[in-house]
Chain A
Amino acid sequence: MSSLVAPGGAMAGTKPGWRASLGWDGTTLLVLPAVLFVLAFFVFPCIYGLVLSFMPLKGGALDNYIRFFSENRFYSTIWKTLLIALPATLANVFLALPIAFALRKSSKYQRVVTAILVVPITLGTVLVAQGLLGYLGPNGWFMRLLTTLHVIDAPFRMTHNYIGVLLSLIITGFPFSFLLTLSYVTGIDPMLAKAAATLGASPWTQFKQIYLPLLAPGLAMGFCLAFVQSFAVFPSAVLLGEPAGITRVMALAVYQLAYEDYNAPMAAAGAMVMGLVQLLVVASVLGLRGLFYRGPVGGTKG
């Protein structure tokens, strides 16, 4: 949307001028439902929560925030959540990259593997968590296989702890990262790598010098999306994790404040801190993204 004021007419205050000056016409109305939706279900709750967080049940306006950052059971959730979300996100992005790269040429394998990898999306977090509980549990197939093969002597715990939550986040988050990365990888003109090869670049150098710099902005975007998803982890932290200990994530703490302590203003403050942490991570990643080339990555045909 252009924010420039059209010369002449618009400034004179004639009625149709201001719409034209903003580049609006009939089709602008099509945006209206989406704008109303965002206003009603995002902007309003956000502002409501923000205002609410400054109205604690007792004490001054900032008391909720002071309490959040002075009590270990609250502020520790920040790094507990980051400790789960960041490794899960990094694992997803860096697992997705080589697989997407290997499948960059359109083939029947690309379609088959894509279809298989995308299945976890359709299952949902709870079903995956439930499945992992059985599969990775002390009497699950995985442990029995390892003990039968004498890889380990006795089953070790992979559920109801950090590992379980991390694995479940990787499994549910991977398809998104993969699909996104695949679309970025296939968008790069394969002739660029061929040109690099004729100039003396080995396959690894082709990847490092051509693909990676062109993919970096896409990978950053993929990282942000996967991170936001992982950061809001709730079901798997409860089902597969140790909700009283290492996997007491922010979403869980906020839930408890709101529905177990019935302290809505304090919960709102927690949610605001949660949003702020996400925003900081996303903003810094997108800031780094600005260092890379972000133009078209197809051919350079003029």
Chain B
Amino acid sequence: MATGPIDGNFDILKLDGVTRRFAGITALDGLDLTIKRGEFIALLGPSGCGKSTALNCLAGLLPLTGGGIWLDDRRIDVLRPEQRGFGMVFQSYALFPHMTVRKNIGFGLMMRKVSKAETERRVAEALRMVRLEAHADKLPGQLSGGQQQRVAIARAIVVQPPLVLMDEPLSNLDAKLRLEMRVEIRRIHKELGRSTIYVTHDQDEALSLADRIVVLHDGKVQQVGTPEDLYARPANLEVARFMGYQNSLSLSVVGAQVGGETRLTGPGIALQGVGQVTTSRAIASVRPEDLVAGAEGANAIEARVTGAEYAGREFVGTAVTQDNQPIIFRSPRRIQPDELVRLSVPTERVRVFADSVR
């Protein structure tokens, strides 16, 4: 800790079946999660998956319709937001337009009746941490988006909250600034060591920032795990799609399943992948970067090229299989439309999921 004593930190934050319904629609359905002190958790999912609902429930801005939230032995879901004292960074920043940067950052300290000298010291420290010393006396309207974002972060962390909540904080920034701020957020999290829950729909952000990722879809948890876990071993098709497995081939299951692996076949396709299913048909999920044209191997997909794009070191191609399923792959050599290619992928890079559609 760079500033002051740690007050009100916790060992375990426990979400126990947190549920939120809006007029008959269940936005968040029984979220169970245990967060350790200092952990960086990303809530990842497409829009409408319930991730922002979960964050608002944690902050106290939305009452729960079921379940409970426990901070160590204390039940906190009954507390009003101002009693929880979690620092929150809003997607729209929500900076107070009539207060200077300094006043904005000092607001939480003023609410906590921290002495004037102490406030000044901690605000200066926070300003230094987000590198905005030169802008302390400006109004938010005079700052750029990235600077406003950093004020919002400073305002949330200066009170040294037990938990920092971030609601898609980078979604309003341009791509370059987003990368810079990602680095900043990681640095600030390391420096402060406060548990952080970070809501995003961007899997790159989640993978690069989080200790653990919670993937949400339709209000339900799909998978909880480390970035490596989710990236290499998605639990289901939803998670796989979100983790960059853009190719989903519907195939027939052949023979017995051995050692957690399944053999699949289709017109011009023979694949062996990781995962066991009980259905007769299954989905094989493959990342475009793992599917290579002209590579050797037992796994093979014969396809007709529909398009090719030069991407620097290699080509990114689109193609269709013999039964017209679209796929994306890469190719080290130049390819032409209508050319027939043989694509291959190592068995450990193919994920097999039950086909729920058929």
Q: How far is the CA of A199 from the CA of B86 in the complex (A)?
A: 7
Looking at A191, A292, A300, the one whose CB has the most chain B CB atoms below 10 A away is A300
Q: Which of B85, B90, B143 sits near A195, CB closer than 8 Å?
A: B90
B107 touches A300 (CB 8 A): no
Q: Which residues in window 152-190 of B have CB below 8 A to A? A: 155-156, 159, 165, 172
Q: Which of B86, B107, B156, B172 sits near A301, CB closer than 8 Å?
A: B172
A293 touches B172 (CB 8 A): no
Tell me how many residues of A have a C-beta within 8 Å of chain B: 26
Determine whether B271 belongs to the interface, using a CB cutoff of 8 Å to chain A: no
Which A-chain residue is minimally distant from B61 (CB atoms)? Answer: A194
State the Cβ distance, A179 to closest chain B Cβ, in Å. Answer: 23
* Residues of chain A with a CB closer than 8 A to B84's CB: 198
Looking at B60, B85, B97, B143, the one whose CB has the most chain A CB atoms below 10 A away is B97
Determine whether A296 belongs to the interface, using a CB cutoff of 8 Å to chain B: yes
Q: How far is the CA of A189 from the CA of B111 in the complex (A)?
A: 21
A194 touches B145 (CB 8 A): no
| 8 A-B pairs with C-beta separation under 8 A | A195-B90, A197-B61, A198-B165, A199-B155, A200-B82, A210-B96, A214-B97, A302-B148
Looking at A194, A197, A202, A302, the one whose CB has the most chain B CB atoms below 10 A away is A302
Assuming the contacts A191-B92, A296-B141, A300-B141, asked whether A197 and B82 have C-beta atoms less than 8 A apart, the reply is yes
Q: How far is the CA of A301 from the CA of B97 in the complex (A)?
A: 10
* Residues of chain B with a CB closer than 8 A to A209's CB: 96, 107
Determine whether B316 belongs to the interface, using a CB cutoff of 8 Å to chain A: no
A198 touches B61 (CB 8 A): yes
Q: Which of A195, A201, A214, A300 sits near B88, CB closer than 8 Å?
A: A195
Interface mask (B74-85 → A, CB under 8 Å = 1, otherwise 0): 000000111011
B94 touches A299 (CB 8 A): yes
Which A-chain residue is minimally distant from B155 (CB atoms)? Answer: A199
B94 touches A300 (CB 8 A): yes
Assuming the contacts A295-B139, A300-B141, asked whether A194 and B81 have C-beta atoms less than 8 A apart, the reply is yes
Q: Which residues in window 99-143 of B have CB below 8 A to A? A: 107-108, 111-112, 139-141, 143
* Residues of chain A with a CB closer than 8 A to B333's CB: none
Determine whether A192 belongs to the interface, using a CB cutoff of 8 Å to chain B: yes
* Residues of chain B with a CB closer than 8 A to A201's CB: 82, 107, 111
Which B-chain residue is minimally distant from A302 (CB atoms)? Answer: B145
Determine whether B93 belongs to the interface, using a CB cutoff of 8 Å to chain A: yes
Q: Which of A194, A198, A299 sits near B93, CB closer than 8 Å?
A: A299
B97 touches A200 (CB 8 A): no
Q: How far is the CA of A201 from the CA of B99 in the complex (A)?
A: 15
Q: How far is the CA of A196 from the CA of B155 in the complex (A)?
A: 10
* Residues of chain A with a CB closer than 8 A to B111's CB: 199-201, 205
Determine whether B59 belongs to the interface, using a CB cutoff of 8 Å to chain A: yes
Which A-chain residue is minimally distant from B111 (CB atoms)? Answer: A200
Q: How far is the CA of A233 from the CA of B273 in the complex (A)?
A: 87
* Residues of chain B with a CB closer than 8 A to A194's CB: 61, 81, 90, 94
5 nearest CB pairs, A to B: A293-B98, A200-B111, A302-B145, A199-B108, A195-B94
Determine whether A46 belongs to the interface, using a CB cutoff of 8 Å to chain B: no
* Residues of chain A with a CB closer than 8 A to B139's CB: 293, 295
* Residues of chain A with a CB closer than 8 A to B108's CB: 199-200
Q: How far is the CA of A199 from the CA of B104 in the complex (A)?
A: 10
Q: How far is the CA of A189 from the CA of B97 in the complex (A)?
A: 10
Determine whether B95 belongs to the interface, using a CB cutoff of 8 Å to chain A: yes
* Residues of chain A with a CB closer than 8 A to B45's CB: none
State the Cβ distance, A289 to closest chain B Cβ, in Å. Answer: 13
Determine whether A213 belongs to the interface, using a CB cutoff of 8 Å to chain B: yes
State the Cβ distance, A263 to closest chain B Cβ, in Å. Answer: 51
Determine whether A238 belongs to the interface, using a CB cutoff of 8 Å to chain B: no
Determine whether A126 belongs to the interface, using a CB cutoff of 8 Å to chain B: no
* Residues of chain A with a CB closer than 8 A to B98's CB: 213-214, 292-293, 295, 297
State the Cβ distance, A44 to closest chain B Cβ, in Å. Answer: 42
